[in-house]
Chain A
Amino acid sequence: MVEYHLTTPISEADARKLQVGDIVYVTGEHVYTARDEAHERALHLFEKGEMPPVDFEGSVIYHVGPVAWQKDGKWKIVSAGPTTSIRMELFEDEFLRKYNARIIVGKGGMGAKTLEALKEVGAVYCSYTGGCGALAAKGLKEVRAYEWQDLGMPEALWVITAEEFGPLLVTMDSHGNSMHDEMDKRVAERKADVYAIIGIE
């Protein structure tokens, strides 16, 4: 396990160094929130040959629907823990291939399609501790823009400057390893022992 402090934009070489089990803290301006609808819109724009409002190359894409509020005309993230990532499995592989994001952050892990795209593009998936909205907000220092507001607060594209945003745990890397798949296997192996405790032979 290695601890990295990375600054965005993140290069493919840096992303490929990361291994399952590593801890990452991110600083920089290329940090964006995106849930189902933002992914869908970004892919749609690409198909139409239009540019999204931000540059996703080397970015950190955070699966989150934040609580934010406006004070003195400026938006501020109040609480922003991760949402369940598997919903974005529908879009993430294409998104990675088209936009070259380097770190996807969420909770619960993603599937085989995303794992394959991470390998191909040179990117990782990191798990952020579910429910840690207040801690995450501390690392999401500044809101520079609130794009795609028509999607509503949770689904919009929040453009963020991060400072030591983490700890992000690499749970899927660009070498085909997934801690989530590994956990499924380990728990399945323990099933007989677990059943024995409740009296099932």
Chain B
Amino acid sequence: MNSTSRWTTKADVDIMKDPADVLQDTVFRLLKMAATKLPKDVEDALRTAYENEDNETAKTQLGAIIENIGIADGGIPMCQDTGIMIFYAKVGYDFPFMDEIRTAVENGTRKATAEVPLRPNAVNPIVGGNSGDNTGRKIPWINWELVPGDSLEITAFPKGGGSENVSIVGMLKPGVGLTGVKKLVVDNAMRYMGKACAPNIIGIGIGGGADIAIKIAKEQLRRPLNDSHPEHEVAQIENEIFEAINATGIGPMGLGGKTTVLGVKVDYAMRHPASLPVGVAVQCWAARRSTAVITKDLEVTYLTHPVEGQ
């Protein structure tokens, strides 16, 4: 796409929108929304959990979470760990502003860090030091996907450190089968107990390879909590692991209760005959994600956090 053609769309001519500004502003809003307001499905799940618990401690923990969400309410970060910056960009082949995306993500991140504010969470692992603005080598990380169409779907997925620290990849022997897969996930949950700020959401990726398995696992964390996998066999694995982990009694914050996980999401790729890779991605209750779609005419629609009037 050459740089002149972007000015040829009618909307641009009419209102002279600057694509860099629109993209950057969208990234800023996505980060602010993600940090300060949970998607509705997650908030609803936490409220339902509060109603279902009869354990006094669990009720106190979930009650604090719900009060906290109310105070944050679109204004201040619900958690002081505002995460490391991860984005998912699903770009249409014919989206005219592809070359603007990375710069917009970086600039929008800097602005959000200063103005929301977000905690500076980008540390150099080699020479030390915090960049101070949540950007640096390879961060924000963007997961790219090219799809047919002419629009961009972009998701901000700032990920907290506590839950990330208990995510794992297991390279299992194929002989252990699906039971071995389930055992890996359940054993992991019983090891970290409440340390990942339960109630958690768990994403599981089976097959592919070590990198593919954990990538699939993490992608599952973006699924709505109330869906299940379209393939019956996979949905059944989701249900079994969900039931098993909640039967541990670990509960909110690991202090006891019925609600250890709000959701378990599984997907898979074909595997090598010699390998059974399993990725387990763990998400804290502050499951922050926000998604917008930007058309080629620079019209923006917010999917997870609808703006009034849309």
Contact = CB atoms under 8 A, between A and B. Distances in A.
A83 B195 CA distance: 10
A107 B80 CA distance: 14
A67 B255 contact: no
A67 B36 CA distance: 13
A167 B60 contact: yes
B247 to A, nearest CB: 5
Given A130-B197, A133-B78, A135-B71, A169 B255 contact: yes
Given A107-B253, A129-B64, A169 B71 contact: no
A198 B119 CA distance: 40
Given A67-B119, A108-B254, A200-B179, A184 B193 contact: yes
Contact of B80 (A65, A69, A183): A65
Given A194-B190, A199-B182, A131 B77 contact: no
Interface stretch (B209-217, B237-245, B274-282): B237-245
A198 B183 contact: yes
A77 to B, nearest CB: 9
Contact of A187 (B56, B72, B80, B250): B250
A29 to B, nearest CB: 22
Nearest to B115: A69
Nearest to A187: B248
A131 B240 contact: no
Contacts of B120: 153
Interface in B172-212: 179, 182-183, 186, 190, 193-195, 197
A81 B71 contact: no
Contacts of A144: none
A197 B60 CA distance: 28
Contact of B82 (A67, A137, A138, A190): A67
B294 interface: no
B162 to A, nearest CB: 6
A58 interface: no
A83 B189 CA distance: 19
A13 interface: no
Interface in B107-154: 117-120, 130
Interface string B213-252: 0000000000000000000000000001101110111101
Given A65-B80, A67-B119, 5 more contacts: A79-B79, A81-B80, A81-B81, A129-B64, A197-B244
22 contacts: A66-B80, A67-B117, A69-B117, A80-B80, A83-B81, A84-B195, A108-B195, A129-B252, A130-B197, A131-B81, A131-B160, A131-B284, A132-B68, A132-B78, A134-B71, A135-B67, A167-B60, A179-B57, A187-B190, A195-B186, A198-B240, A200-B183
